Every structure is written in structure tokens, then in C-alpha cells.
Amino acid sequence: MFRKEKQWPSLAFMITTLVLFMILGGRLFYLQIVKGDYYRGLSSQNHIRVVTKPAPRGLISDRNGVVLADSRPSFIVTAIPSEFDSTNTEQVASLLGITEETLSGILSQASSVPHRPVVLSTSMSVEDVSSIAECIYCIPGILIDVAPQRRYHRPDDFCHIIGYVGLSDDPESFRGEITGRTGIEFSLNETLRGSPGLHREVVDAMGRVVEEYKGTDSDEPVPGKNVVITIDAELQRTALEHLVKTTLPGAVVIIDYVTGDILCAASSPSFDSNMFSRGITRDEWDALLQNPANPLYCRAWTASYPPASTFKIITAYWLIAEGLINENTMPAPCYGSLTLGDTEFGCWTAHGRLNIIQSLARSCDVFFYRTSQLGSLNELAEYAEFFGLGSRLTEILTDERSGLVPDSDYFNSAYGPDGWGLGNLLNISIGQGELLTTPLQMAAMTGVIASRGQMPLPCLILQREEMEPFFPAEVCDDTAFDVVTEGMLQTVISRRGTLYGVFSDFPWDFWGKTGTAECSGEDHAIVVGFSREPEPVVICVIIEHGGHGGSVAGPVARDILLSYFERSD
Amino acid sequence: MRGVIDLIGRDRPDMVFLIALLVLFLIGMAAVYSASTVISESGLFGKQVTWSIFGLIAFLLGTIISLRRLEEISPIAYAFICLLLIVTLFIGSGPANRWLIIGPIHLQPSEISKAGLILVTAWWLASQKVRPRKFGEILIFLTVIPVVVLTAIQPDLGTAVSMLLIVLAMFVWAGYGGGWIMLLVSPILAAVSSMNILLWLGFMMILITILYRRKYPLPMWIVFMGGNSIVAALTPMAWNMLKPYQQSRLITFLNPSNDPHGSGWNIIQSEVAVGSGGLSGQGFLQGAQKELAFLPARHTDFVFSVWAEETGFIGCLILLTAFFILFWRMVIAARKSVNPFNSLVAAGAAAYIGIHVFVNVGMTLGIMPVTGLPLPLISYGGSQLVTVLFLLGLVLNAGMYWREV
């Protein structure tokens, strides 16, 4: 290397570095000489405090624009441990109505980050604050801040769908920030929360704000985005009222089978989600947990039940679509039971000789015991999965259960290869045994029949784009759809149908299927069905321990749809 | 006047260089001592003194080692350092898993790897100078990429970027022009400029100008224009595919020392500390801001704030001037050296000093982003001190034996 060659690089090195160092020197001159007095003043008497300004959480409204969740102004009292003088502990504790031990406990927990405010008291109203503000303002290190509090307008109707919020315990969030705990508040938390703003204030030794800090700009909070859900709030209220009238726990799911919109998902009993916004007390929380009916539990999708005879919709579809029987096949008559080996499989009455449509309408078990032996368990399980059973239907409902569709692998691992047999298939064919479904899945299964396979997956967030059907196109079978639809119509209109008479005053056509799920105690009453006019909806009603599906759940379904249709007419 | 025969004879050591170094070393000891008086962890200053002894040994080793021998073992040393980084990735401990603990010794391999990087780049560039290979430059980049990537995923993006800048500076030293460097880093620029259409158009115009002026054949045009367009098109798509929380996590991952709340608390407090120093400072050990437990890193990354508060503008000017003199003498040594390897090592070490000083001091003054880059010779930390002193020893060595071919 020749020295001449390095003349340019060394010049580049020296000039670049000189310029960079002069930038540093210039900045130092600005900070130390030009603004030196300002900063010296700051550092000797005052200091900088960074205050978080919470962002307003997004609104949640129903499909018609009814606001279901918004925020109302409320106040929180916070303390900055590094500024707080412990001789004031007694006074502050008495003003806030907490014990001194609680207060010093809160403060000592936060001592690792002494400049960050800790929350002492939340959700105080204007009246609460004004009575103590005067005294508290003179105490160094205690701040009163505005913090929007979540307000639910129909807390009982929407406690399971929207869920509730609580104080965030994420170490990266600021003290007092609320975060979604359950439901949509939880799953769409990132959308709803927005981002908090930061104000930098210069405060004096007493903790009073002297001025805004002039060094860096403040960041304004960015409000959270609004969310519109597919639920019809009026329908939701009607459904919950009818459920409450039965005095039994239960659920109602109503879905628009053309769009997949979930119009109603009521679960009874419910609870007041505003309890969580204002800070739930120990007693209230214990009462919720110890209530035997478990109000925290969303029966529309977190509970799973045996589908009982409503599952015959799938069994019948499978039998026809796979060509195992046709609509005229009449196996041996039903004498009230079928004996297989030394086990007796019962039916609820002796039906005699029936075809498949009559068997659906009168809900004959023996017909399905006899015919399902023509196929295999795994085929039937596969069809159940086509209809949406055995897996979660939504992504957004984090507490949705998948239910259970047992196949041979399941039985092999549960009972061993020799521990099960044809009897298990017979039980599954009428919706009993290990089979478990959520009311949401039962409604979706009915929707496949109503839409002739065209229904998209159920959704809870309103979107205008068209979605793909979830039922595979290659198993769509016109004859099978016709047979099941006719069976569901005969259930309602034929004299011996299980829903006969229930819908006699109903001015529109209704296709239905009942189920009576055997369980310990009184049976669960289930009804599923759909109407095409005036609105294309499917409905699933389940009343826990209600008894017979047709006579208990049927009228509930009818009354809910009646008031919904009369309103939309 | 030395005779012609004394071609590989030894010059006296550069006294200006040594004085600047001594001044900086003493400032470093004073600043660490001052910061350590308010740190609960005991014995920080004592540890720094111990490390200084190791640093002195490393410095002496650097001045007496045969640079020819060093050039030969450079690739091996580099491979060893890569291994060290990989080991750290799996069994690293301490904050951000950047530490390798062997008995009482706590090593930070990413600091040591900077020296390895300078040596291996100097070795490659020197051999490329003597015996040019086709695509030799690409090979050099392939060699340094492992260390840069291993550092970036530690994760320490600031250090990884500073490593790339040092390597690029060494390319400039070896005679590669701005256009050439520009083409080399064009994919990164394409990705960054894709955020704004005007930036992107400006970037493409510069690219076209360079390609035209260098009279590249058509295939090269296709490679550079097409490749960069693809990169620019894919970047926003890849970014938008991420959900907002993933984007913020990625940013936090790439730059963990950034305050997760974005409040800039550290920077504000550092600015107040520096500003309150005024012209002559609040006096040694008298700093008020450092008393507040505001900075978790006031003896390491933010040590300059302590110095600025206590010694003011005058003390800062002394520090910056000493650094500039040191840098200037390093460039002189690099320029004098006849041997390409010696020259490149000195230039790389000079770039190391320049980049670290600007990034670290700039950070404490609020004009550079928060990164984990220490202030050489001043910040508390043994690995850094030993590495820097070893490199400075090599520069002194190269300056004394500048005639060596």
C-alpha cells in the first residue's frame, strides 16, 4: 500500500469524525451553556415526572348501533413512592378509607421502581374525589388522575359475550391500565385499548406540577378502535328474559344461516359485568364462584352437552348421503327397544314400522339403531365433523369448547381395542354416549341443513364480506338435504311429531328437531330448528334439567322467535 | 536520521497518542469511581482496577506481539470467537444472556468479537489487495456475517450495526469508493426506503446513477435493480402481515434497551444531568442527578452523563478532545504503515473508537437512539476495557513498525 493511496480515505476518516464530534460539541453547548440554567434549576429543586394518560377504550356496539360498552370518566388516586413521605400514611389511609397496613403494603411492594405511580384507589366518582381532593392535594406524592372506567349498558345480557375488564398486571403496562379479562374485551384487547399518552411534567419538591417539560414533546393518547358485534341487542334481551322465566340454567343461540352472524347467544344465569369495572369485592367474587349454577360460565359455547336426538339430523343425513338407505327404507318395526347381545337399547315408546322421515319426526331410536349398523363409527364421526362438531368454530371466543366426537382411535385409547364395540356406535347414532356438543355447534349443524350446506362459519364481529361455507361441497347431497328438511318439518306439523302443537299459533313455517339428553337428575331439554321467513335464522335452545325437549325447550324457542319476527316485520 | 538498512527498525512510541490515552484512562477511572459511590453493588471500583491490570497486560501484549504472526492466526482467532458467541447463545447468563461466566471471570463475548472482526477483515482485505480474487469482497462479507448475526440475535442490534459500520469503514480505508459501498448495502437501504415512496424514488435514482457511472453490464443492472425492487416490495408486505403486537414485540426484540413504555425516562434524566453540569460542572462526586436511582446503567452506558454533570462543558470538551486526538494519532499510524494488514488494523481500531464515542455520547445527549454501546475506556466493564486496550496496543505497535512491509 502506498501512502498516496491512503490520502483520500484518511481525509474521509478525519473529516467525518470531526463533523460528528462537532455535532456532539454543539449539542453539549446547547444543553450545558444555552439551557444550563434551566436544567440546573430542574435538577436542584424540581424533577421530571412522566405521567401516563390512559387512552379511551374503544366502544362495543351491536349490529344496529346500540352502544353496549363505553367508558365514563372516573378518578384514580395514585402515589409516587419516591415522593411520598411516610409520616402522612395515617392521614391518607383515613381519607381513602383503607387501613394503614394496606397502604404501606402497597407502597413497599412498589419500592423497586420508586418513580412510577402505584394505584391506591380506583373508580372514584366526582363526588368521592371532591370530598377528599382538598386535603389530598397538599400531600406530596399523592396524585388524583382521570382514568376512564369501563361501563356496560346491558351488563347482564352481554356479560359472557363482551366479558369484562380488570386492572392489568402486565409489568409493561402502566399502573391503573385496564385490560380485557374475558370475552371480546379479552380477545380484541389490542384493538380496543389504543395506546396511552405520556405527559412529562416538571414538579416541585411538594409534588405539585410547575409546568410541562419543554425538552421533549408529549405524546397524546391514541383512542382504541370501536368494535361492532353481530348480536341484536333486543333479541339478546328477549332470549335472556325467556330463559330466566324458566328459572333453570340454559342457553339460546340464534344464527343468521346466510351470513353466519350470531344474532343471539344468551346464557342464564348471568351476572353484572360492571362489578368488575368498578373493582369487584372479595364477597361478590366469592358469591359468583360459589353459586352452584355458575353464572361466570357461558353456556352458549363453554358448556358442552350430549346433543341427544338432535344428532339424528346428522345420522339421517349420513345414512342417505352415503346411500346406506333411501327415503323409503323401512327396517324391522320398533317394539320399544332393541337387544344387542345382552344389552338392551331402549326407545322412548314403541313406534312400529317407520321410514326415515317418520323416524325423525317421532324421534324413534330403534330405527337409527338398526340402520346405523349398515355403516361404521368412523364414517359417522367424519360426517359429524363436517357438520362442525368436535372442533371450535370461532377464533375470537377464547372460552369456546370444541366438544367431542369419539371415533375408533378415541375408544381404543379410552377402553382398549376390545373394550368397545357396536353398542357404542348405536349410542352415538342417537346422540348419546361420549358425544358432546356446544349449543353453538348444534345451531351451526342445523344451519348446514337450513342453508343446504352454504352456511359460513358462525361469526361474532360484524363484517360485510361474504364468507365461504364450512360444509364441504363434495358431501352436499340434495336428496339427503330434502329428507332431513322434510323430517324436521314433519316434526312440527305431523300429528305425532315431537313438536306438534307447539308451533300451531306460529304464523310462519318452522323446521325443528327435539332432543332430550339423558344425564344425572332430570334430562336436559334441547330443541334446534330454523325459519326461512321472515328472517333466515337457526335457533338452538337448551334448558338444563328441563325435561322433555319438545314440551319445555320448544315453547321457549317459539316465543323468542315470535317476538323477534314481530319486531322485524 | 536512520540508515537505509534500518528499514524494519523501530520508531519511538507516539507520545501524543500515549498522553491522550492516559488522560482518557484516568477520566474513566474517575467517572467509574464517582458513579460507583451511589451503586449498591459493592466493589465495583475495585473490580475495575483489577480489570485495568488485565487491560495493561493486553495493551503491552498488543505492542510487542509480532503483527506478522497475528496476521497468520487471525482466521483461527476469529473462528474461536465465533465459537464463543455460539456458546454464549446457549449457556449465556446475566442480563439479556450476553455474559459468559467462567469461574470468577465474567466475559462479554460480543465485546471481544469486535477485535476479532477487525483482525479478520484486515486479513481478508490485505490478502485481497495482494492477490485479488473474483468476488473476494463478497467472501469477506460472508465471513463477517456470522458474528454480526450472532450478535443481533443475542439480541443486541446496536452492537451488530456498529460492527457493520466498522467493517464498512475498513473497506473505505482499503480504497473502495462510496458508490461501491452503496451497492453493497443497497438491499438494506431498499428495505428501509420502501416505507416512503419519495425515499424509494431517491434511492432508485442514486442506484441508477452509480450503475451508470460504473458502466456495469446489463446482467449487473438486472441483479441490482431487480433484486432491490423485490426487497422493497416484500418488506412492507412482510411487515403488514404481522399483527400490531407482533410488530411492537419485534421492535422491542431488536432493541431491548429501548424503554418499553417509550417514556424516554432515561434520556430525559440524562439530558437533565448533562445540562445541569453547566460550564464547569457541579464538582467531582457532587452530581445531584446521579444520586437519584434514575439510571440503571449510570456506571456503564450512561457514565458520560455522570462525567458531564460533575465536570461541565469544560470536562466534556477535555474528554472529547482527548478522544479526537487519540483518533487522529490512530489514523496517522494507519496512514504511515506500509504493510496493508497493519494499516487496516489501525484504521479499523480508529473506526471502532469513533463510532462508539459518537453513538454512546450521542445517546446520552438525546440525539442517538438508546443502544447498549459502551463508551470505550470510560464505561465500567472488563471485556470492553481489555479489548480496547489490546486494539490500541496493536495501533501503537503498527505505528512503531510502520516500515515493515
B291-304 mean pLDDT: 67
B222-233 mean pLDDT: 86
A45-51 mean pLDDT: 65
Q: Does the beta-carbon distance from B334 to A18 stay under 8 Å?
A: no
Q: What percent of chain A has pLDDT over 90?
A: 28
Of A173-182, A481-490, B39-48, B258-267, where does the model show the most confidence?
Answer: A481-490
**According to the model, what pLDDT value does residue B293 have?**
46
Say which CATH topology domain A233-273+284-568 has.
Answer: Beta-lactamase (3.40.710)
Contact assessment for residue A116 and residue A80, using Cβ atoms and an 8 Å cutoff: yes
User: Residue B144 in 3-state DSSP?
Assistant: helix
Say which CATH topology domain A47-228 has.
Answer: Penicillin-binding protein 2a (Domain 2) (3.90.1310)
**Digit-coded pLDDT (tens) for A264-314:** 999 989 999 888 887 788 888 888 888 888 888 899 999 889 988 899 999
Question: A153 to chain B, minimum CA–CA distance in Å?
Answer: 29
Chain A residues 133-172 with CB within 8 Å of chain B: 172
The residue whose grid cell reads 473529516 is A15
Neighbours of B266 (CB within 10 A): 23
Q: Does the beta-carbon distance from A190 to B338 stay under 8 Å?
A: no
Q: Say how far apart CA B218 and CA B230 lie, in whole Å.
A: 18
Residue A112 at interface with chain B, using a CB cutoff of 8 Å: no
Residue A23 at interface with chain B, using a CB cutoff of 8 Å: yes
Chain B residues 359-378 with CB within 8 Å of chain A: 361-362, 365-367
Taking contacts as CB-CB distances below 8 angstroms, the residues of chain A near B265 are 50, 115
Contact assessment for residue B351 and residue A13, using Cβ atoms and an 8 Å cutoff: yes
Residues 6+ apart with CB under 8 A from A403: A304, A389, A390, A391, A435, A436, A437, A438, A441
Chain A residues 272-311 with CB within 8 Å of chain B: none
Cα atoms in the 13 Å half-sphere on the side-chain side of A465 = 2
**According to the model, what pLDDT value does residue A16 have?**
92
Question: B219 to chain A, minimum CA–CA distance in Å?
Answer: 30
B103 φψ region: left (φ > 0), alpha (ψ -120 to 50), beta (else): left
Per-residue confidence band for B381, with pLDDT thresholds at 50, 70 and 90: confident
CA B157 to chain centre: 12
Of A94-103, A447-456, B30-39, B314-323, where does the model show the most confidence?
Answer: B314-323
Q: Does the beta-carbon distance from A40 to B343 stay under 8 Å?
A: no
Residue B402 at interface with chain A, using a CB cutoff of 8 Å: no
Question: B84 to chain A, minimum CA–CA distance in Å?
Answer: 31
Taking contacts as CB-CB distances below 8 angstroms, the residues of chain A near B361 are 24
Q: Say how far apart CA A315 and CA A470 lie, in whole Å.
A: 19
Q: Does the beta-carbon distance from A36 to B276 stay under 8 Å?
A: yes
Contact assessment for residue B335 and residue A3, using Cβ atoms and an 8 Å cutoff: yes
In terms of Cβ atoms closer than 10 Å to its own Cβ (0-12, 13-18, 19+), residue A341 is: exposed
Taking contacts as CB-CB distances below 8 angstroms, the residues of chain B near A33 are 278-279, 313
Per-residue confidence band for A175, with pLDDT thresholds at 50, 70 and 90: low
Q: What is the enclosing helix (H) or strand (E) of B337?
A: none
Taking contacts as CB-CB distances below 8 angstroms, the residues of chain B near A219 are 262
Q: Does the beta-carbon distance from B272 to A39 stay under 8 Å?
A: yes
Q: Does the beta-carbon distance from B173 to A17 stay under 8 Å?
A: no
pLDDT of B252 higher than 70: no
Residue B175 at interface with chain A, using a CB cutoff of 8 Å: yes
Of B94-108, B191-205, B235-249, where does the model show the most confidence?
Answer: B191-205
| Sign of the CA dihedral running A302, A305, A309, A311 | positive
Per-residue confidence band for A1, with pLDDT thresholds at 50, 70 and 90: very low
pLDDT of B245 higher than 80: no
Q: Does the beta-carbon distance from B172 to A23 stay under 8 Å?
A: no
Q: What are the extents of the domains in chain B?
A: 19-155+265-400, 175-252
Residue B347 at interface with chain A, using a CB cutoff of 8 Å: yes
Cα torsion for A143, A145, A150, A151, to the nearest 10°? 110
Residue A346 at interface with chain B, using a CB cutoff of 8 Å: no
**Digit-coded pLDDT (tens) for A142-158:** 777 777 788 899 888 89
Neighbours of B75 (CB within 10 A): 15
Q: Name the segment(s) of chain A with CATH classification 3.90.1310.10.
A: 47-228
Give me B277's grid cell: 453540569
- A48 vs B268, B317, B327: nearest CB: B268
- How big is the CA angle at B167 (ends B161 and B168), to the nearest 5 degrees? 90
- B293 vs A6, A18, A114: nearest CB: A114
Say if pTM beats, i.e. exceeds, 0.80.
Answer: no
- A190 vs B244, B276, B317: nearest CB: B244
Give me A176's grid cell: 391503573
Q: Does the beta-carbon distance from A43 to B289 stay under 8 Å?
A: yes
| Sign of the CA dihedral running B240, B243, B248, B254 | negative
Question: B27 to chain A, minimum CA–CA distance in Å?
Answer: 18
Q: Name the segment(s) of chain A with CATH classification 3.40.710.10.
A: 233-273+284-568
pLDDT of A97 higher than 70: yes
**Digit-coded pLDDT (tens) for B55-102:** 999 999 999 999 999 999 999 999 998 888 888 888 776 655 667 777
| Sign of the CA dihedral running A283, A284, A286, A290 | positive
Q: Say how far apart CA B334 and CA B233 lie, in whole Å.
A: 42
**Digit-coded pLDDT (tens) for A345-385:** 888 888 888 889 988 888 888 899 889 888 888 989 999 99
Residue A210 at interface with chain B, using a CB cutoff of 8 Å: no
| Pairing, β A60-61 against β A227-228 | parallel
| Sign of the CA dihedral running B194, B196, B198, B199 | negative
Residue A219 at interface with chain B, using a CB cutoff of 8 Å: yes
Question: A467 to chain B, minimum CA–CA distance in Å?
Answer: 20
Taking contacts as CB-CB distances below 8 angstroms, the residues of chain A near B292 are 47
Contact assessment for residue B330 and residue B344, using Cβ atoms and an 8 Å cutoff: no
Secondary structure (DSSP) of A524-550: EEEEEEEE-SSS-EEEEEEETT---II
Question: A214 to chain B, minimum CA–CA distance in Å?
Answer: 11
Residues 6+ apart with CB under 8 A from B343: A1, A6, B173, B334, B335, B337, B398
